[in-house]
């Protein structure tokens, strides 16, 4: 930068200055007080002179610069000032988090990890690595904060972060191993039973009200349906609910295509449910009639059927029927309903929705020889949890999309059993 200043006839332009700041960030550990002062001056001056240019990439550069200087806390103000938090670049968060941990401003660091998670649904392995490093330097801080964060946010991590947790706990002297959880929730390593999925009546009532008011009255998810169809459906449910099981007809008919030969899966599934004497709603489209074949009349006599127009989206109808029916009603679908949890109005409600889905979604299994089973939902909580004093269980998934994570929509691929020394 000095070279440019000395050689150039004019002041370096803003883009060049921002590039310079970014390169300083890369070598921040070698910066002198004088360098830091210079970066600070550049940041403040380009901010002052370019307020019309403020966008996420610009601010990312400024925040990276400020995080090299004693003025790093100003970044918090800039992060807060963004009208749409989704526009903030991940890097702007992570730089501020690294700096906060370096300065032992741990509340600031963790609160930013939470904000980043809420806004971008991302858990960066590097920010957790920064926390572990801080714990290694200062024994007042505990690794367990990471497990507590994962527990409180009910998230399932990907392999990268799981490997980091494994490595750090192992170094620390804790007993940590991959494990298998039996269908009843028992860990094959430590023999502890994982916590059950529980939803209280008041939680379910709150979920029901939230769904009905935001999703149904708001009509945002019924956009493709005619008001007439929606009213017909509501009347139908009012007259026929409650159900034991709500079946996603199209999903069952097509999601398992190719897995079963020479017969219609939907027909087999309905016959199993009829045999169990369950009160069933089959929701689907008119062309499912062909798949039900000559047993349609038998099924019609034993199952409540509602066929919607081809334009409708199915999941809001299924959720409506299930939630209207009550806390015990099961739902049979492979649809993960990912879109819906974010329609609900807060993270607490999203978590209840996930738990409800896990607790109420039946699982279809097809074994060799076309044997079809309907398995009850997995009874144990599939999120990070403390199972006994100092014993933690942590689910994690293979990497599907780098840097991402998922809520427990489906069973996690792997589990870790950790006996902490804290
Ligand atoms: Zn265990």
How far is residue 106's CA from residue 108's CA, in Å, rounded to a whole number?
Answer: 5
CA distances from 268 to 66, 95, 282, 361, 373 (A): 64, 55, 13, 18, 10
Q: Flag whether 4 is in a domain.
A: no
Residue 178 CA to ligand 1 center (angstroms) comes to 9
Residue 32 CA to ligand 1 center (angstroms) comes to 49
- The pLDDT, as a whole number, for residue 78 is 87
Q: Flag whether 265 is in a domain.
A: yes
Q: Which residue has the tokens 């008001």?
A: 227
Whether residue 54 sits in one domain with residue 72: yes
The last residue of one of the domains, among 68, 100, 115, is 115
Whether residue 158 sits in one domain with residue 102: no
CA distances from 215 to 184, 219, 221, 326 (A): 34, 6, 6, 17
Residue 371 CA to ligand 1 center (angstroms) comes to 33
At 12-27, the pLDDT tens digits run 788 889 999 999 999 9
pLDDT beyond 80 at 297 = yes
Whether residue 160 sits in one domain with residue 89: no
Q: Flag whether 7 is in a domain.
A: no
Lowest-confidence segment of 55-59, 208-212, 382-386, 410-414 by average pLDDT? 410-414
DSSP string, 190-234: T-PBPPBP---HHHHHHHHHHIIIIIIIS-TT-TTS-HHHHHHHH
How far is residue 253's CA from residue 248's CA, in Å, rounded to a whole number?
Answer: 9
Residue 170 CA to ligand 1 center (angstroms) comes to 15
How far is residue 415's CA from residue 150's CA, in Å, rounded to a whole number?
Answer: 14
Provide, rounded to the nearest whole percent, the portion of the chain with pLDDT above 70.
85
Residue 298 CA to ligand 1 center (angstroms) comes to 48
At 127-138, the pLDDT tens digits run 999 999 999 999
Residue 387 CA to ligand 1 center (angstroms) comes to 8
Give the strand pairing for 391-397 and 157-158.
parallel
How much is the average pLDDT of 168-196? 94
pLDDT band at 406 (very low <50, low <70, confident <90, very high): very low
**Domain containing 418: what range?**
121-191+378-422
Max mean pLDDT range (162-166, 341-345, 377-381): 162-166
Q: Radius of gyration over alpha carbons of the chain, in Å?
A: 27
- The pLDDT, as a whole number, for residue 409 is 43
Lowest-confidence segment of 268-282, 320-334, 354-368 by average pLDDT? 354-368
Q: Flag whether 306 is in a domain.
A: yes
Q: What is the CATH number of the domain that holds 349?
A: 3.40.50.11980
Residue 359 CA to ligand 1 center (angstroms) comes to 22
Whether residue 403 sits in one domain with residue 257: no
Residue 4 CA to ligand 1 center (angstroms) comes to 60
CA distances from 349 to 151, 210, 378 (A): 16, 8, 21
Closest CA to 244 of 178, 327, 304, 329: 329
Whether residue 348 sits in one domain with residue 263: yes
Whether residue 387 sits in one domain with residue 349: no
Q: Which residue has the tokens 């609160």?
A: 111
Whether residue 327 sits in one domain with residue 206: yes
Provide, rounded to the nearest whole percent, the portion of the chain with pLDDT above 90.
50
pLDDT beyond 90 at 142 = yes
Q: How many C-beta neighbours within 10 Å does residue 194 have?
A: 22
- The pLDDT, as a whole number, for residue 34 is 93
Whether residue 241 sits in one domain with residue 368: yes
Residue 416 CA to ligand 1 center (angstroms) comes to 7
Q: Flag whether 2 is in a domain.
A: no
Residue 196 CA to ligand 1 center (angstroms) comes to 15
pLDDT beyond 90 at 293 = no
pLDDT band at 195 (very low <50, low <70, confident <90, very high): very high
Residue 169 CA to ligand 1 center (angstroms) comes to 15
> ipTM greater than 0.95, yes or no?
yes
User: What is the average pLDDT value for the chain, to the nearest integer?
Assistant: 85
Residue 380 CA to ligand 1 center (angstroms) comes to 13
- The pLDDT, as a whole number, for residue 403 is 42
- The pLDDT, as a whole number, for residue 2 is 57
pLDDT beyond 70 at 149 = yes
Exposed/middle/buried for residue 138 (C-beta within 10 Å: 0-12, 13-18, 19+):
exposed
Residue 172 CA to ligand 1 center (angstroms) comes to 18
At 220-244, the pLDDT tens digits run 556 666 778 888 888 999 999 999 9
How much is the average pLDDT of 188-215? 90
Contact (Cβ atoms closer than 8 angstroms) between residue 221 and residue 305: no
Whether residue 263 sits in one domain with residue 131: no
Residue 306 CA to ligand 1 center (angstroms) comes to 45
Residue 183 CA to ligand 1 center (angstroms) comes to 14
How much is the average pLDDT of 190-217? 87
Residue 383 CA to ligand 1 center (angstroms) comes to 13
Q: How many C-beta neighbours within 10 Å does residue 191 have?
A: 11
Whether residue 218 sits in one domain with residue 182: no
Decide which of 115 and 100 is more confident. Answer: 100
Residue 392 CA to ligand 1 center (angstroms) comes to 7
Q: Flag whether 65 is in a domain.
A: yes
Whether residue 300 sits in one domain with residue 253: yes
How much is the average pLDDT of 385-398? 91
pLDDT band at 9 (very low <50, low <70, confident <90, very high): low
The H or E element containing residue 283 is strand 280-285
Q: How many domains does the chain have?
A: 3
Q: Flag whether 6 is in a domain.
A: no
The pair of three-digit structure tokens given for residue 23, joined into one six-digit string:
């390169």
- The pLDDT, as a whole number, for residue 274 is 93
How much is the average pLDDT of 20-45? 92
Residue 176 CA to ligand 1 center (angstroms) comes to 9
- The pLDDT, as a whole number, for residue 86 is 63
- The pLDDT, as a whole number, for residue 82 is 73
Whether residue 42 sits in one domain with residue 111: yes
The last residue of one of the domains, among 115, 150, 165, is 115
Residue 192 CA to ligand 1 center (angstroms) comes to 6
Q: Flag whether 5 is in a domain.
A: no
Q: Which residue has the tokens 């906060």?
A: 100
How much is the average pLDDT of 406-419? 72
Residue 394 CA to ligand 1 center (angstroms) comes to 9
Residue 188 CA to ligand 1 center (angstroms) comes to 7
How far is residue 152's CA from residue 144's CA, in Å, rounded to a whole number?
Answer: 12
Residue 376 CA to ligand 1 center (angstroms) comes to 23
Closest CA to 377 of 201, 248, 243, 198: 198
The last residue of one of the domains, among 64, 93, 115, is 115
Closest CA to 238 of 337, 333, 306: 306
Residue 202 CA to ligand 1 center (angstroms) comes to 31
């Amino acid at each position: 930068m000095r070279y440019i200043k000395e050689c150039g006839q004019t002041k370096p332009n803003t883009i060049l200055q921002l590039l310079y700041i970014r390169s300083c960030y890369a070598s921040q550990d070698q910066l002198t007080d004088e360098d830091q002062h210079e970066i600070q001056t550049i940041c403040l001056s380009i901010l002052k002179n370019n307020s019309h240019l403020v966008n996420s990439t610009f601010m990312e550069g400024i925040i990276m610069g400020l995080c090299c200087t004693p003025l790093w806390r100003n970044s918090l103000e800039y992060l807060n000032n963004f009208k749409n938090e989704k526009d903030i670049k991940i890097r702007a968060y992570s730089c501020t988090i690294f700096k906060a941990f370096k300065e032992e401003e741990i509340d600031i660091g963790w609160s930013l990890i939470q904000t980043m998670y809420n806004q971008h649904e991302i858990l960066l392995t590097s920010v957790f690595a920064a926390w572990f490093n801080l714990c290694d330097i200062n024994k007042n801080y505990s690794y367990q904060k990471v497990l507590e964060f994962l527990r409180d946010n009910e998230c399932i991590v990907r392999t990268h972060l799981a490997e980091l947790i494994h490595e750090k706990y192992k170094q620390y002297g804790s007993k940590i191993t991959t494990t298998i959880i039996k269908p009843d929730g028992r860990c094959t390593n430590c023999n502890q039973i994982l916590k059950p999925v529980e939803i209280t009546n008041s939680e379910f009532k709150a979920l029901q009200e939230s769904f009905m008011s935001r999703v149904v009255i708001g009509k945002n998810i019924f956009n493709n349906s005619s008001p007439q169809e929606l009213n017909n459906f509501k009347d139908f449910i009012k007259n026929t609910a409650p159900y034991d099981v709500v079946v996603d007809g199209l999903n069952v008919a097509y999601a398992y295509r190719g897995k079963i030969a020479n017969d219609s899966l939907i027909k087999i599934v309905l016959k199993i449910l009829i045999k169990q004497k369950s009160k069933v709603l089959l929701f689907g489209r008119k062309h499912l009639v062909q798949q039900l074949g000559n047993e349609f009349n038998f099924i019609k006599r034993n199952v409540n059927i509602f066929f919607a127009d081809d334009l409708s989206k199915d999941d809001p109808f299924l959720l409506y029927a299930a939630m209207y029916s009550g806390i015990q009603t099961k739902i049979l679908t492979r649809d993960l309903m990912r879109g819906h949890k974010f329609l609900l109005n807060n993270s607490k409600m999203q978590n209840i929705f996930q738990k409800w889905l896990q607790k109420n979604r039946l699982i279809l299994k097809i074994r060799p020889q076309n044997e079809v089973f309907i398995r009850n939902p997995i009874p144990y909580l599939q999120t990070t949890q403390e199972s006994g004093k100092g014993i933690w269980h942590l689910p994690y998934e293979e990497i599907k999309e780098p840097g991402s994570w998922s809520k427990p929509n489906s069973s996690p691929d792997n589990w870790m059993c950790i006996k902490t020394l804290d």
